[in-house]
Amino acid sequence: MSWGWSLWVMFLVVLNLGITFFLFLWAPRAKVPVQPDGTSGHVWAHGVLREGVRRLPRWWLLLSGLMFAVGFGYLALFPGFGRWPGLLHWTSHAELARDQEANAAKLDELMQRFAKYPIEQLAGDPAAEQLGWRLFEDNCAACHGREAKGNARLGAPDLTDRDWLYGGDGQAIYASIHDGRSGVMPPWASLGEDNVKNLAQYVLGLSGAPHDAARAAAAKPLFATCAACHGPDGKGNPALGAPNLTDRVWLHGGSVADIEATIRGGRQGHMPAWSPRLTDDQVRVLAAYVYHLGHRGDATPQ
């Protein structure tokens, strides 16, 4: 704080405390003119209500005096009076640093224990689950939702359905979080609108959903183009992040209009890398939590 602002703050403190302290000392001794009946002379309701004049109660004086003592004591001990650091030399930065150091010591002990177990086993540890939940809320919930159910509008997958674009084992999930993922589905509008509609029906048929069999049959030869990524049977390819088209799990929506839009315009997905923000130990715990989300009830506890 500059000296100019410091002097301004000191002036305001002295002014406000000085005025209020003067009134506190003066009020009990002030002589208020009263009528013979002990009232001030102010009346309402045609004289039915009259304003009485009484001394301030002792408890009020004692409590107010105590508050002034606390206020003066605070300004002496802690910063608040301009650039005065206070007798205790307390700062919020120092307190934050102490709290962070104490928290880091607790976390370090936990992380050392967590490092002994593979991610799949760590998913069953209650302490790891609690820490992973906090990390998930702070970093992942904005896209995947607090319940991790995903967001079709953003292309953020549901993390609770056991369907994994890049693999669902611990190391694959760790890699997704640590390094990020980028997926591209090229647009196929060049095939023509009629072929786009036919392919949408074929994809619906792969998942066993109701579809137009004639259009699906017409699109079967065209699917050879898609098979390069999704495989000849449409089961997907985790190495490329190409989704399984047979399991009725849809990243961008499974309606006819959604599938047609995906084929026609393509899709682009980006999962940012969290290694610049999170430590490797934090990524492991977060990966264990995500693994837990997709394997509720069957993760092996320690």
Per the annotation, binding residues for heme c are: 140, 143-144, 185, 226, 229-230, 271
Distance CA 35, CA 46 (A): 17
Cα 271 from Cα 155, distance rounded (Å): 10
Q: Which residues neighbour 140 within 8 Å (Cβ) at sequence distance 6 or greater?
A: 148, 286, 290
Binding residues: 140, 143-144, 185, 226, 229-230, 271
Q: CA-to-CA distance for 111 and 281, rounded, in angstroms?
A: 7
Start-end of H helices in 27-156? 58-77, 92-114, 119-122, 126-139, 141-144
Contacts of 18 by beta carbon, 8 Å cutoff, 6+ apart: none
CB 240 within 8 A of CB 182: no
> How many CB atoms sit inside 10 A of residue 2's CB?
8
Instruction: Determine contact, residues 291/123, Cβ cutoff 8 Å.
Output: yes
